[in-house]
Amino acid sequence: MRIKWFSLIRITGLICVLLYHFFQMRYTGGFIGVDIFFTFSGYLITALIIDEFSKTKKFSLHDFYYRRVMRIVPPLILMICVVLPFTLLVGRDYITDLTRQIAAALGFVTNIFEINTGGTYESRFIPHLFVHTWSLAIEVQFYLLWGLCLYLLTKYSQTVKQFRWRVFGGSFALATISALAMYLRAKQLTEFSPIYFSSVTHIFPFFIGSMLGAIAGIQDVLPQFSESFAKHWTKKWAAIFMGVNLGCLFILAYCLRFSEQITYMFGFLLASLFAAGAIFGANVLHRKTPDIKEPQIFTYLADISYSVYLFHWPLFVILSKRYSNWGAALLTTILAVIFASFSYYFLEPLLRGKDVAVLGKTFNLKQVLAPLGIFTTLAVGFGVYLCLQAPTISSLEQNLLLGGIQQDVTKLETAYAKATAPKVEQQLAQTQTADQTIPEGTTIIGDSVTLGSRSYLLEHMENVDIDAEGNRTMNLAYDVLMNLQNTNQLRQNVVICIGTNALDDYQEQTQKVIDDLKDGHHLIFITPHDGNADSSYNSYKLGVWERTLPKKYNFITIGDWDEVARAHPEAFEGTDGTHFGGREDTSKLYLDCIQDALKRAQKTPLKGEK
């Protein structure tokens, strides 16, 4: 039995995801499309299992797993085989760590892989081609565990009613635990990806859907649902209820931000509840419109939605490097629809042993087995070749790693030189420390952007110390500042190149830097630049706020790297729009920005001077 109007739920989820990936700057919360899919899957799977138990008084775990495998695996394998040749259109960085990417996707552990490698859709490095299969990993993990749990429940449930309420109670408990885990972790939020990708914190939408499935299933439903809603709600009210919930989902897709705390504390939960509301409304509307046929376009788009989701992300990552954003989005959509249609209407039925009619000709599995085998053999061979050619880390990551190693070596050499210096020199150094004489020159404290250009800066600047580290936020920069200041290693000119990873408390943390810096220093802030950020991002807001500081503090100077970078978009071609380590032309722009700020700082008073 197919419920009409459920197609609109799937289509809404797909549209949200596509808008987010294609136009991330505008539809910043479209990632909730995944939560819509999660909620719908939880509802549908639970409702179908209850229906099966209601009819037969048993539940076949083997058949359940078989159906899931046949629906999930063929399009996944096809997607990987089809996408790999497209990587020839871009540089080798886009196949970085390809072996582990493919293994994680096929092993349904991409979410764990991304947590361990620090990946994200909004990655500041080269995005993984198969990062989007993180959601598929959580879905399969849910199917494996939840299917087994419900199978065991059927063994200890005497009636459908008893089974239903046990499913509801278990779903409620698990949804509460998972949502609470996300809420509590979000309160101490320092990094988003581990919460977003975690099965523990992001599995609650499935159980919210399961709760609804236990109450208002597909065929077997609670009498209370049938009497209270299916009978008393009008067609109009059911449509309005569904429409309002879908509308709320689109509002969330427009308003939420991946890097904001409120998204994790409440945003995902609201998205799941609105999705459940839309499912509920569609269920009632289905029962109220027995004579109305669902438009075929809705059914078609819903059928291919899963496969479109699989194909669109890697294709867009690749094509967006060759075409304009609009062109890449259009071409990606066309190709994804073609491949998804082939998978759903041709390949998958054949693999399930069904005959397929195409243009009046009928095909069966035996007829396509030879070409399918040749295609698979060629695809596997090409995949193995690419895996053997794939770098372990991208060129940008390699540059950052090298910069970090060089920085660590410098620190070790400095520490060794101090430890082995003659006693007279050590006593002199101790005397200087006691006198708290501020060393001349410049101290630069930066994040991964600075780390990538560290070698270039050291080659072209005199009397400078650089301490940079990836993912450094302002509070961590403050700790470095205090340590250098307390050990009398902080030079007269203090340059803070922090902000790409700005958290919600960026003003408070920056103010601590300003207040606790001792007298006798110039303080220079280099505004952060994130090529993917708009005015809603903390990095952008921090830059705006930093520009106001010289009017309030005469010892502060601003180096406006964000303004320089936006005026030279060509300097970021082939990069992630933020980092440029290894590119000499962009490193020179960065150096010029810092040196210009230092020159202007010399014309201002030191902190503590009038």
Residue where a domain stops, chosen among 389, 413, 445: 389
What is the structure's pLDDT at 215? 86
What is the structure's pLDDT at 482? 94
> Do 588 and 504 share a structural domain?
yes
What is the structure's pLDDT at 538? 84
Strand 556-559 vs strand 493-497: parallel, antiparallel, or unpaired? unpaired
> Do 126 and 226 share a structural domain?
yes
Instruction: For residue 497, tell me if it sits in a domain.
Output: yes
- Fill in the amino acid letter for 308: V
Model confidence pLDDT, tens digit, residues 192-247: 888 999 999 999 999 999 999 998 877 656 666 655 666 678 889 999 999 999 99
Instruction: For residue 94, tell me if it sits in a domain.
Output: yes
What is the structure's pLDDT at 434? 47
> Do 328 and 213 share a structural domain?
yes
Q: Which residues of 343-357 are buried (b: 16+ CB within 10 A; e: fewer)?
A: bbeebbbbeeeeebe
- What predicted TM-score, i.e. pTM, was given to this entire model? 0.79
Instruction: For residue 607, tell me if it sits in a domain.
Output: no
> Do 136 and 31 share a structural domain?
yes
With 70 as the cut, is the pLDDT of residue 515 above it? yes
Residue where a domain stops, chosen among 389, 415, 437: 389
Model confidence pLDDT, tens digit, residues 379-437: 999 999 999 988 887 666 666 666 666 666 666 666 666 667 666 555 555 555 445 68
Residue where a domain stops, chosen among 321, 355, 389: 389
Q: Are 232 and 224 in contact (CB under 8 A)?
A: no
Q: Are 124 and 26 in contact (CB under 8 A)?
A: no
Q: Are 448 and 468 in contact (CB under 8 A)?
A: yes
Percentage of the residues of the chain whose pLDDT score is greater than 90: 62
Q: How many domains, the chain?
A: 2
Region 73-101 average pLDDT: 92
Least confident of 25-29, 148-152, 541-545: 25-29
Instruction: For residue 429, tell me if it sits in a domain.
Output: yes
Q: Which residues of 552-584 are buried (b: 16+ CB within 10 A; e: fewer)?
A: eeebbbbbbbbebbeeeeebbeebbebbbbbbe
> Do 363 and 400 share a structural domain?
no
> Do 416 and 354 share a structural domain?
no
- The C-alpha atoms of residue 581 and residue 402 are separated, in whole angstroms, by 10
Half-sphere exposure of 273 toward its Cβ, with a 13 Å CA cutoff? 10
> Do 402 and 359 share a structural domain?
no
> Do 403 and 366 share a structural domain?
no
Domain that residue 302 falls in: 6-389
> Do 416 and 313 share a structural domain?
no
Highest mean pLDDT among 103-112, 286-295, 451-460, 574-583: 103-112
> Do 331 and 369 share a structural domain?
yes
With 50 as the cut, is the pLDDT of residue 176 above it? yes
Please report, for the domain that includes residue 468, its CATH number: 3.40.50.1110
* Cα-based distances in Å from 164 to 148, 169, 220, 287, 303: 16, 9, 10, 21, 28
Q: Could you tell me which of 127, 292, 147 has the C-alpha nearest to residue 210?
A: 147
Q: What is the strand order of the sheet 522-526 is part of? A: 464-468, 442-446, 493-497, 522-526, 556-559
> Do 434 and 381 share a structural domain?
no
Instruction: For residue 469, tell me if it sits in a domain.
Output: yes
> Do 413 and 335 share a structural domain?
no
With 60 as the cut, is the pLDDT of residue 323 above it? yes
